[in-house]
Amino acid sequence: MVRVVLRRLIQLGVTLIALMTLIFFWLRNLPGGPVDALLGERATPQTRETLIRALGYDQPIWVQYWRFVRNVVTGDLGNSIRTGEPVTAVISRAFPATVELALAAIVIAVGLGIPLGYLAARHRGRLLDNATIVVTLIGISIPIFFLGYLLKDWLTQGAHVFPPSGRISTGAGNTDVTGFFVLDGLLTREWDASADALWHLVLPAVTLATIPLAIIVRITRASVLDVLDEDYIRTADAKGLRDATIRRRHVLRNALLPVVTTIGLQTGALLAGAVLTEKVYNWGGLGTLITDSISGSRDYPVLQALILLAAFVFIVVNLLVDLSYAVIDPRVRVR
Amino acid sequence: MTRPGGIATLAEHKRRRIDELTARTSGTGGVSLLRDAGRRLRRNPAAVVGAALILLFLVIAIFAPLVAPHDPVQRFPELTSRLTVDSIPGATAGHPLGSDPLGRDFASRMIYGARQTLFVGVLATLIGLLSGVLLGAVAGAAGGWVDVLIMRITDVMLALPSLLLAITLVALASESTQWTVIVAVAVVNVPVFARLLRGSMLAQRESDHVLAARALGVRGRDIVTRHMLPNSLTAVIVQATLTFAVAILDAAALSFLGLGDPDINRAEWGLMLGVDGVRYLEVRPELAYFPAAAIILVALGFTLLGESMREALDPKNRR
Amino acid sequence: MRAPGRQAYRRRTVIAAGVVTAVAIGVAGCAESDRDGGGKGGATGGTFIFAGAGDPKNFDPIFNDDGESFRPIRQMYDTLVTHRPGSADLVGGLAESWSNDPTGKVWTFKLRQGVTFHDGTALDAAAVCANFDRWYNMKGEAAQSQMIYYADVFGGFAGNPDAIYDNCKAPDAATAVVTMKKYKGAFPGAFALAAFSIASPAAMKQYDADKVTQSGDSFAYSAFATDHPTGTGPFTYGGWNKATGEITLNRNPGYWGDKAKVDKMIIKVIKDENTRKQELRAGAVHAIDFPAPADRKALAAEGYQVLERPAFNILYLGINQKNNPKLKDLRVRQAIAYALNRAQLVQTKGPGGSAVADEFLPGTVLGYAPDVQKYEYDVAKAKQLLAEAGATGLTLNFYYPTEVSRPYMPNPQEIFTVLANDLQAAGIKVNGVPRPWNGGFKDDVQQFGKQDLHILGWTGDYNDPGNFVGTFFGRPKPEFGDQSMTEMFTAIGAADATVDQQAKRAAFEQVNRDLAAKWLPAVPIWHAPPALVTTKNVEGLVPSPLTAETFNTVSITK
């Protein structure tokens, strides 16, 4: 086990360094970039030259790379072009927003997905099953930004049930402790802020949950069907074990393995979905940051750090999924 | 459980599934399995609906110039004369769906949209497929350090979620054209196809018909091209069908993020939905609803057919 | 009308009801606070929430060059000279009056008495001179590279031969005398630029304002710029919550002018125009900037106030004469002008209040000529001119930006598509080249001049023809390609250097006539006024042509 973890950590390091180098040289070869983004429309050619010198772009590329590596190793990922804040501060602020959103989406997707998938499998071929299949198929096929727009149009503009954007009401004056607004409200006993944040969370979380929900339903259904087909279930059945016991002890436990993998894989997809969802709801998390750092502003230091972070998170999550395998399925531990 | 997950858990899932599939089919011969699968496919209503949707889509795409009432990029005086920044004329004589935001015939754009969407989807899928298949075949056939290297590269690519990778690629492209989008969407699928094919090849290396061919003295390259590749193709086709749906959805998402095809003259559903549809949702919701419905139906068609094919090819379902 | 702080959605929920009460009580509490000189009419107190379109960079005026940064800066600082609300006319700001000597080099400012900075220190001539000296003597390329307006207007820094600033003297506490090395047409208008706001020298010293440090591909600013902006404006800095995108500004009870009517204002950053509109409808904000042109009519119909700013911008089709020799022929450039159906573009795509432009500056600016040659849409004429010039079958590379929206160019892709369509109809083949705004467009067009045609524009900074015409055509630029248009450069330079205002007007009128008839280095397309939208209960918000609103006059009625 320790060796597996160690090997993964080395892999992680190698992947990150490779990505870092690739991104660095790539960004240096793009047209426009930091100089354009920093200058706006009114700069004189002299200002432009001053800026190029100030940023060290007049120096040889290997000098720039060396400086970049030195900075990254010391934890300095540069500053946002837009606000001049350290990139690490920008990202660590956006991070809880996305995690809060993603967690809510996972809760919805898992909480609804596993029971629905299980029920569909138990009622195979019947109305519930067929309806579930059709709905989940549409859920996979709908562009989620469009779904977000529809939900927003109906529920925030037509009927003012939910707020149209943001994480909390403007001027709410909530105390920021952890960056997780719902949690912060509980910690500081600002119940109203918590409720307000939760209320803002509903539509974005539902939008983001659509695809993982559909996938989890389908995987659970397929997996439960597979397990129901297995010999040991038939044996258990034949032995006369009670239905509930079979379900709990054999079916669900065994069927859950691929579902856990899927949930792990969906974290990556969630981040991608978050880019769209956060743009629709002006969420202000990592997704918003990605869009903002590319579209229009070309805030390359932020983009660069985000790519590294995304790779990092994805690899770590996969590592965790592997470990959870070991917990759920004892056979894995042998290796 | 051969190996505890990994960076490419998804790909390995597929690999395992394909390994199993290929191993079993290789004994009985691929042809009868395909025939068998085809028969089961025809009996599956989901597959029939999926195929019908795709067929309709293909027919419209291919015969667009015959079906469409007008040129999709022409601006019509009778439409522009009533067009302002905050109102877009609806249906009139000769223009059954009215105008788009620039005074062009919306119905014709929807119809030609099938063609452009097909173009983007097919190319994105094909480029991803061919590069992936090439990489996977090389990895699977060569083995050793080549295999390890290629698989590490796909691992790195898989380290980023697909749409995110596409967004990054567009951001990192030095130009933004329709091809930037197509390639970005395609590259995302390269590692999936590579893994898929490699898994299938590995399984076949030890299978009866390959061993038989080798015993008969067939050259290594011929074994790969004549025996192993064709056998892996079914799996690839199934995956490609599913990929197509994702490709057009990703292209639409890129357009929505402002990173899609910049040429708004091009009638492509994702572009129409992601740019005009969203911008003019209140002024004329049809501009969003129609392309969205078209995208959903086509994505649905390809998903239905792909899933049914996969199911039909699964030996467990053979009765 | 739903009032912010009482969002309708909340009424439907029991759980959120407490928030409503809490906010309502907060508002009521504030409303009772004492009020000194609230001005005429309108309720006072409360919080005014304004939705802006982007993050500010920082709050040190001199290191900024964009509207989203200047929005909060204008509330916290004052300039020596300022604009009469709703116009581009100059009136006294921190200086009650100003004058210049006949050479146009020496500017004397009579300062307002009794004005104090937010930190309590007095605004006097020494403080004004400290600002001018600070700018001129700024050290370090990192800092200098961020002083974009300064470098443009003042020509450079200490030690640079092009720098036009000489010195600033304070003969007495109420008089500041700024001396330049040469006359520049930009003054006095440029003194009103928000970038040249006067900041507290004590605070700048305390918080190390000049410290701009480079890190990676960007810069970090001082504590003065990020946390302790200290000016004389009607609002004081109350913090920037970046997690929620809220900049809080508090009423400055000691303001020298009209004191703010609201107790507090929040600038909420909402980048997406659609979301700004929705937040306005949900009652979460009182006002939004830059509504989508397509939404203005609907919002007005729903009872919101759509405040159109007088147009002070220009969109033009630039022509680069370098790459295609045919474009050196005036007839070809005129053919391009005739080929464009600008009236139709304005009708179909122009935001409310926009108009076809015949010159490169709005009609309210000095030197606008009433009688320039106009190019009415005429395809036959365009074809004929092309034939005469032997330029039939002309193919042109037309660069246009993506990933950007500008007040003068809300949707560049649509504008390009329409213009390209018109050109094709006249027999000019167009090869469209899209480039991301910061990812190659500005580089390719303004640095390398790769294009034959391009669309670009400008929003004026102050009422001066040099700020428009001079910026575009006053010197050789890769954007327009031809170094040989010396006649044009000379004429504009001479007009800009004219001290006498009547002579200057005449000179620029002639420049504008020649630009249209003789030089035609670009085709003016339209003036497109940006707008603001507010809820019905917002009073006193005066839209500024320069997008330079101050919110001290704003009040919220119940």
Determine which helix (DSSP H) or strand (DSSP E) holds A272, and give its type and residue range. helix A253-281
**CB contact burial B106-120 (16+ within 10 A = b; e otherwise):** bbbbbbbbbbbbbeb
DSSP H helical ranges for B216-277: 220-222, 229-256, 269-271
* Backbone φ and ψ of B98, nearest 5°: 80, -155
The residues, any chain, with a CB within 8 Å of residue C396's CB and separated by 6 or more, are: C324, C327, C423, C428, C429, C430, C431, C452, C453
What CATH code is assigned to B47-77+98-317?
A: 1.10.3720.10
- Residue numbers of A between 113 and 132 with CB closer than 8 Å to B: none
Which chains have 3 or more CB–CB distances shorter than 8 Å to chain C?
A: A, B
Q: Do C295 and B279 touch (CB under 8 A)?
A: no
The helix/strand/coil state of C475 is coil
Is pLDDT above 60 for C113? yes
Mean pLDDT along residues C348-353: 91
Instruction: Supply the pTM of this predicted model.
Output: 0.88
Question: In a mutagenesis test of the A interface, which of C249, C438, C455, C462 is the best target, namely the one with the most A β-carbons within 10 Å?
Answer: C438
| Closest residue of chain B to C275, computed from CA coordinates | B279
Residues of A in contact with B174 (CB under 8 A): 29-31
Query: Residue A161: what pLDDT?
Result: 85
Cα–Cα distances (Å) from C457 to A42, B38, C410, in that order, read 12, 61, 11
**What are the residues of chain B with a beta carbon less than 8 Å away from any beta carbon of chain C?**
73, 75, 80, 83-87, 101-103, 171, 174-177, 258-259, 262-265, 275, 278-283
* DSSP per-residue string spanning C375-436: ----HHHHHHHHHHTT-TT-EEEEEEEES--BTTBS-HHHHHHHHHHHHHHTT-EEEEEEEE
The separation between the first and the last C-alpha atoms of chain A, rounded to the nearest angstrom, is: 8
Q: Do B262 and C434 touch (CB under 8 A)?
A: yes
Nearest to C362 by CA among C546, C221, C494: C546
C-alpha distance from C307 to closest chain B C-alpha (Å):
16
Question: Could you read off the pLDDT of A303-331 as tens digits, one per residue?
Answer: 888 877 777 776 777 677 667 666 665 55
Query: Residue B21: what pLDDT?
Result: 47
Least confident of A124-128, B56-60, B274-278, C415-419: A124-128
The residues, any chain, with a CB within 8 Å of residue A155's CB and separated by 6 or more, are: A161, A162, A203
Is pLDDT above 80 for A247? no
Fold of A98-294+317-334: MetI-like fold (1.10.3720)
| Closest residue of chain C to A169, computed from CA coordinates | C284
The residues, any chain, with a CB within 8 Å of residue C406's CB and separated by 6 or more, are: C412, C457, C459
Mean pLDDT of chain A: 83
Question: In a mutagenesis test of the A interface, which of C14, C217, C280, C409 is the best target, namely the one with the most A β-carbons within 10 Å?
Answer: C217
Q: Do A315 and B159 touch (CB under 8 A)?
A: yes
Q: What percent of chain A has pLDDT over 90?
A: 24
| Closest residue of chain A to C273, computed from CA coordinates | A282
Which chains have 3 or more CB–CB distances shorter than 8 Å to chain A?
A: B, C
Question: In a mutagenesis test of the A interface, which of B156, B295, B300 is the best target, namely the one with the most A β-carbons within 10 Å?
Answer: B156
Question: In a mutagenesis test of the C interface, which of A26, A42, A57 is the best target, namely the one with the most C β-carbons within 10 Å?
Answer: A42
A322 closest CB neighbour out of B5, B160, B304: B5
Query: Residue A59: what pLDDT?
Result: 87
Residue C158 identity: A
Q: Do B4 and A332 touch (CB under 8 A)?
A: yes
Distance in angstroms (rounded) separating the CA atoms of residues C122 and C135: 20
C49 closest CB neighbour out of A32, A78, A170: A170
Question: In a mutagenesis test of the C interface, which of A26, A47, A53, A70 is the best target, namely the one with the most C β-carbons within 10 Å?
Answer: A47
Q: What percent of chain C has pLDDT over 90?
A: 78
Question: Could you read off the pLDDT of C114-169 as tens digits, one per residue?
Answer: 999 999 999 999 999 999 999 999 998 889 999 999 999 999 999 999 999 999 99
CB pairs under 8 A between A and B: 143
* Crossing angle (nearest 10°) for helices A253-281 and B9-28: 130
Per-residue pLDDT 10s for chain B (319 aa) are 333 333 334 445 544 554 554 444 443 445 566 677 778 888 888 899 999 999 999 999 999 999 999 999 999 999 999 999 989 999 998 999 999 999 999 999 999 999 999 999 999 999 999 999 888 888 877 778 888 888 777 876 766 667 888 888 888 887 778 899 999 999 988 888 888 888 777 777 777 777 787 788 777 777 777 777 777 777 788 889 888 998 999 999 999 988 888 888 899 999 999 999 999 998 999 999 999 999 999 999 999 998 888 878 766 554 4
C-alpha distance from A223 to closest chain C C-alpha (Å):
39
Rounded to 5°, the CA angle C259-C263-C267 comes to: 100
Instruction: Count CA atoms closer than 13 A to C41's CA, side-chain side.
Output: 3
C334 vs C436, residue with greater confidence: C334
Q: Do B257 and A143 touch (CB under 8 A)?
A: no
Least confident of A2-16, C148-162, C425-439: A2-16
> Could you tell me whether strands C213-215 and C218-220 are parallel, antiparallel, or unpaired per DSSP bridges?
antiparallel
Rg (CA), chain B: 23
Q: What is the dihedral of CA B275, B276, B282, B287, to 10 degrees?
A: -120
Residues of A in contact with B252 (CB under 8 A): 143, 145-146
**What are the residues of chain C with a beta carbon less than 8 Å away from any beta carbon of chain B?**
274, 292-298, 344, 347-352, 402-403, 411, 413-414, 417-418, 421, 432, 434-436, 439-440
DSSP H helical ranges for chain B: 9-28, 30-43, 45-62, 64-67, 77-80, 106-142, 144-158, 162-172, 178-187, 190-205, 208-215, 220-222, 229-256, 269-271, 278-279, 286-313
Instruction: Count CA atoms closer than 13 A to A16's CA, side-chain side.
Output: 20
C-alpha distance from B125 to closest chain A C-alpha (Å):
17
C348 closest CB neighbour out of B83, B177, B264: B83
For B19, the token pair is 């390994």
Query: Residue B11: what pLDDT?
Result: 44
Query: Residue B314: what pLDDT?
Result: 67
CB atoms within 10 A of CB B208: 13
Is pLDDT above 60 for C22? no
Q: Do B296 and A141 touch (CB under 8 A)?
A: yes
Give residue C18's pLDDT band: very low, low, confident or very high (50, 70, 90). very low
Question: Could you read off the pLDDT of A160-215 as tens digits, one per residue?
Answer: 789 999 999 888 878 888 889 888 888 888 888 999 999 999 999 999 999 999 98
C-alpha distance from B152 to closest chain C C-alpha (Å):
30
Residues of B in contact with C417 (CB under 8 A): 102, 264-265
CB pairs under 8 A between B and C: 67
C-alpha distance from B257 to closest chain A C-alpha (Å):
7
Determine which helix (DSSP H) or strand (DSSP E) holds A289, and give its type and residue range. helix A286-294
Q: Do B263 and C344 touch (CB under 8 A)?
A: no
Residues of B in contact with A270 (CB under 8 A): 161
Long-range contacts of C208-212 (CB under 8 A, 24+ apart): C209/C60, C209/C134, C210/C134, C210/C138, C210/C139, C210/C140, C210/C143, C211/C143, C212/C63, C212/C140, C212/C142, C212/C143, C212/C146
Question: In a mutagenesis test of the C interface, which of B85, B180, B278, B283 is the best target, namely the one with the most C β-carbons within 10 Å?
Answer: B85
**Looking at residue C61, what DSSP letter applies?**
G
Contact call for residues C345 and C419 (beta carbons, < 8 A): yes
Query: Residue B202: what pLDDT?
Result: 75
CB of A276 within 8 Å of any CB in chain B?
yes
**CB contact burial C440-458 (16+ within 10 A = b; e otherwise):** bbbbbbbbebbbbbbbbbb
Q: Do B161 and A295 touch (CB under 8 A)?
A: no
Write down the domain spans for chain B: 47-77+98-317
The helix/strand/coil state of C275 is helix
Distance in angstroms (rounded) separating the CA atoms of residues A209 and A120: 19
DSSP lists the bridge partners of residue C215 as C218
* Backbone φ and ψ of C231, nearest 5°: -125, -155
The separation between the first and the last C-alpha atoms of chain B, rounded to the nearest angstrom, is: 27
**Looking at residue B50, what DSSP letter applies?**
H
In the sheet that C395-402 helps form, which strands lie side by side, from edge to edge? Answer: C355-356, C522-527, C313-319, C453-459, C395-402, C429-436
Distance in angstroms (rounded) separating the CA atoms of residues C314 and C356: 10
What ipTM did this prediction achieve? Answer: 0.85
Nearest to A101 by CA among A181, A189, A162: A181
CB of A225 within 8 Å of any CB in chain B?
no
Distance in angstroms (rounded) separating the CA atoms of residues C290 and C300: 14
Least confident of A207-221, B187-201, C269-283, C295-309: B187-201
Q: Do B84 and C432 touch (CB under 8 A)?
A: no
Residues of A in contact with B259 (CB under 8 A): 294-295
CB of A175 within 8 Å of any CB in chain B?
no
Which chains have 3 or more CB–CB distances shorter than 8 Å to chain B?
A: A, C
Cα–Cα distances (Å) from B196 to A260, A265, B250, in that order, read 22, 17, 21
Q: Do C13 and A199 touch (CB under 8 A)?
A: yes
The helix/strand/coil state of C220 is strand
Question: Could you read off the pLDDT of C524-552 as tens digits, one per residue?
Answer: 999 999 999 999 999 999 999 999 999 99
Rg (CA), chain A: 24
B80 closest CB neighbour out of C274, C344, C439: C344
For C26, the token pair is 């907060």
